[in-house]
Chains A and B, each alone.
Chain A
C-alpha cells in the first residue's frame, strides 16, 4: 500500500514555515507551560498569584494567537491539508512523545498525586498542586487538590483549543454552535459552578456538583459514600440526588429521543468536549475496519455489564448496611431494577425488533445478562459479599480499570495514537445505553442525499467513532448507528454535500432499500420488489 511520500524538498513546502505571529504564539504558550513545569519541580515562586496568572494567560493567549494566524489567513473551508504528512497528526515522533507525556501525566494524576505536590495527611501542598493553591482558595475556599489542577488544565484545553476548532470550522455554523456549547458546559457546569457551590457551602460533605456528569459515566454517583454525602448534604445534596436520577430516567431519554445521543456526547459531555476540541487533530486516526468494529462491540458491552453490576452491587450493599438511610429495601431495589430493565428491553425488542443491527443486539444481550446477574445477586449474596466477590473490591476494580485506566490514561493519553474517541467508542457505558436508544428510539439520523455520493471516503476517514460512513452513503442509505455521536464532521468534509444530520420523522429513518437515485425508476422498483 503506497503512502504519501515525504516532502524533502527545499522548493515546495507543506505548510512547515511559521510566520511571526505563529512563532510568537508558540513562544507565549510554551513559556506558560514552562512556568507550570518549574512549579512542578517545586520552584517556589515569590508571588504565586501573579505567576499563576501569567502562566495560564500566556498559555491561552498563545493558543489564540497561533490559531488566529493559522486559520484566518486562509479562505473559509476545510483545512485538513497535510494531516497525513505531519508527525503530530500521523503517529510520528511528535505524536508518540505527546502520547507518552500525556499517559505518564495520567498515571501520576490517578495513582501518585503526591508527585504532583499534593500534601499528604494535612501537610501543605507543594509543586504544581501548591502552585494552584491561590486560585483554588479564590474559587472554592480550599487548598488545591490534584483534581483541581486537572480540572483547570482540562478547562483551559477545551476553551483554548475549542476556540481553535471554531476558527478551523468557521464556515460551518453547526460546528460553531456545538463547540460554544461544550465550552460553556465545561467552564460553567463542570468547573465554575461546582467550585463556587462548594465555596458557598463549606460545611457540606463532598459530593459531585456537576449537574451534567450523569451515571453511569460518573460511576461513583451511586456509591455508598456518595449517596450518604448527598443525603446528608442538605437541600443542595438532595437536589443533586434527585436531579441526577431525573437525568438518567427522564431528561436523557427525552433529549435522546428528539436529538439523538449527540445532545450529550458532542454538545454537553466533558469527555466529548475534550475529544472534540483538543482531540480534533487526531480524529482521522480512529480505525474504521470491520475487525475493530467487532472489538468495539465486545469491549463497550463488557464495560456496560461491568458498570451496571458494580453499581447494583454497591447499592445492594449500601441498602443492606444502611436500612435507616434508605427509602427502599434491597429486595425492592433489585426487583425494581429488574422490572425496569425487563420493561425497557422488552418494549424495545417488541416494537423495534426489525430495526436491530449487530450493535443493538449486543446491547440488548448485555441488558439481559445484567438482569440475570442482578437476580442472582439477590439470591446468592450476603450484605457485602456479592456473588462471592466483595462489592467494595468490585467497585475498586471498576474505579481502577475503567474509571482511571480506561477513561483517563488510555482514553486521553492515547489521543495521538488511536484517535480522540477511544474511551467514548470502546469504553463508555453511557454511550452504549444512549446508543441503543439512538438506534431504536430516536428521531436522529444522518440523511444521505440521493445518489450524490462519489465514494471518496472523506467521511469514513474523518469519523472519530470509526464508522464506515461511506459504506452507507454510497448505497444511498441513511446512517443510523449506535455509536454516532453526531459531531457533524462527516457532513462538513463531504465534498459533494451528501450528508446531513437531521431530526425527523421516525418513519423511513432506517432505509436499507436500494435507493440508487438517478437511475431508471423502473429498475429501482425491480430491485426493491425482488
Chain B
C-alpha cells in the first residue's frame, strides 16, 4: 500500500490528510514536532487571554485520527533523504515514504538583532511560543512588540488582556500601511491607542539588552531611546520553515519551490502551505502565501492529485480576514494600499471611527476590483460572484443590503454609504 508521509500537522497537512482519506485507503502518516494533535494556531491568543483552553483549539477530538486511520508521529524530522525515500527523525529513527508532502509552515523572522535569542524574546507562532509567554508574562512589567502587522497587534491584545503595559514598535508611518490604505490604517492607529497601547510609529529595533541572567532587560530603538522591558515580541513577519531541507536536494528559494501541481523538483515530493513557494505568483498573489485559507486550499488541491486526479492549485478570488482588537476586518478581491493606475478608491468611514469600507474599481469600466470592510461583516459568496461576473461598482452599491452579513438588528449604514458614493462618483462616469 502506498505510504504518504506529511511533515507538519497544521491546517495544510491536516486538510490534505483528511481529503486523501475521503477518497483512498493509502497509508497516511503525519509527523509533527510541535504537538501530537492538530490545533488551530489562530486560536493561541485566545488561550493566553483566557477565552479558551488549549484543548478547545483542537478542531478534532483525539480519537478522530485513529478512527480515520491516520498515523500521528510526534517527533522532529531532521533530514529528508530524497533518494532513499526516507526521513531521519530526531531520535535517530527513520521512516520511509512513497510520497512525501512538506507542510512545515513558517518561523518568525529575526533580522539579526543583537540579543534576539535572549530569554524573554519570542515570536508568536507555535505552541512553544505560547508556553514561553505563559512562563514570562507573570514577571513582565512592560513588553515591547516589534513589527506592526497582524501578529503584532494580536500579541499586544494578549498582553493587554493581562494588564501588561505594551510598547508597540512599527517600522512604517502607520500601522500595517503596506497593506492597508491610509484611512483604514489611521483608524486602526487610533483604536490601538484607545486600548492604551504605546504605539511608536516609524521606530525600529536596534538592540535587545540582557540582564546578568541572560534575560531581556531593555531594548534600544533607532531613535536612541532605551525602553526597559522584560518581554520582547518579535512579530516582523514569517519565513518558510525549510532550513532542515538544505541538503535534501529539494530546490529551495525562500521556501520550497513548487509548480502549479505543488510538485517540487523531485518526483513524489510535494510542498503545501506557508512553506511552499510558487515559481511565479498566481494571478496577483505572492509566490509565498502564509495565510490560513491558502494553506487549506493547497491541501484540498493536492489531495486530488495524490488520489489520482491531477489537479492544479488554482485558488479563486483573493479573500482574507483579521481582527484588530475590537475591529473586525474582511477583504475580498484586491484593494492596494495605494490606488494603482486606472483604479478609483471609494472610502467611507463611520463617524464613530470604528467602521469603514473601501471599494476599489476600474476608472473607466467601473468594474469592481475589491473591498476592505471594517466593523461591517460582508458575505463572501456575494463578492465571490461579483468578482467572477465582473460586476460594476454601481451594481455593488445597489446591492449592499444583499452583501451585508451583520447580525440581525444591527444598524445599517447602506444609505449613508450610497449617498456618499453618489456624491463622489456619479457624474464622473465618462461614457
Residues of A in contact with B (beta carbons under 8 Å apart):
1-5, 7-9, 11-15, 75-78, 80-86, 171-174, 176-177, 284, 289-290, 447, 449-452, 454-458, 460-462, 470-471, 474, 488, 491-493, 495-497, 500-502, 516-523, 526, 530
Contact = CB atoms under 8 A, between A and B. Distances in A.
A290 B315 CA distance: 33
Nearest to B327: A77
B311 A523 contact: yes
Nearest to B131: A2
B296 A81 contact: no
Interface SS of chain A: helix, strand, loop or mixed?
loop
A450 B409 contact: no
Nearest to A76: B326
Contact of A497 (B47, B194, B330): B330
A348 B199 CA distance: 60
A8 B313 CA distance: 49
Given A452-B319, A458-B51, A496-B323, A173 B409 contact: yes
Given A456-B43, A517-B381, A526-B304, A81 B161 contact: yes
Contacts of A14: 50, 161-163
B50 A84 contact: yes
A497 B59 contact: no
Contact of A82 (B161, B314, B315): B161
A77 to B, nearest CB: 3
A172 B407 contact: yes
Interface string B289-325: 0001100110011001000010111111101011101
Nearest to A521: B316
B375 to A, nearest CB: 9
A456 B319 contact: no
A452 to B, nearest CB: 5
A226 B49 CA distance: 52
A456 B57 CA distance: 6
Contacts of B138: 5, 7-9, 11-12
Of residues A14, A456, A526, which shows the largest number of chain B Cβ atoms within 10 Å of its Cβ? A456
B52 interface: yes
A229 B316 CA distance: 67
B55 interface: yes
A81 B49 contact: yes
A419 to B, nearest CB: 14
A11 B59 contact: no
A470 B293 CA distance: 15
Contacts of B300: 516, 519, 523
Contact of A461 (B51, B191, B314, B377): B51
Interface in B104-153: 127, 131, 134-135, 137-141
B27 interface: no
Contact of A457 (B48, B52, B377, B405): B52
Interface in B356-374: none
25 contacts: A1-B53, A1-B54, A5-B134, A12-B138, A12-B141, A78-B51, A80-B51, A81-B49, A81-B161, A82-B161, A86-B50, A450-B379, A450-B380, A450-B384, A452-B380, A454-B43, A458-B46, A458-B51, A458-B52, A461-B56, A492-B407, A497-B328, A497-B377, A518-B384, A526-B311
Given A12-B141, A518-B293, A523-B301, A4 B405 contact: no
Contacts of B194: 75
Interface in B155-175: 161-164
Interface in B189-220: 191, 194-195
Contacts of A493: 51
B16 interface: no
A488 B328 CA distance: 17
A471 B59 contact: yes
A88 to B, nearest CB: 12
Q: Identify the interface centre among A77, A174, A474: most chain B CB within 10 Å of its CB.
A: A77
B162 A4 contact: no
B11 interface: yes
B408 interface: yes
A78 B51 CA distance: 10
A215 B163 CA distance: 49
Contact of A290 (B48, B61, B406): B61
B344 interface: no
A516 B11 CA distance: 14
B340 interface: no
Contacts of B244: none
Contact of B316 (A173, A474, A497, A520): A520
Interface in B367-404: 377-381, 384, 388
A84 B51 contact: yes
Contact of A85 (B50, B56, B164, B191): B50
A456 B58 CA distance: 8
Contacts of A4: 47-48, 50, 53-54, 134
B326 A5 contact: no
B229 to A, nearest CB: 12
B50 A80 contact: yes
B42 interface: yes
B185 interface: no
Given A5-B135, A77-B326, A173-B410, A461 B162 contact: no
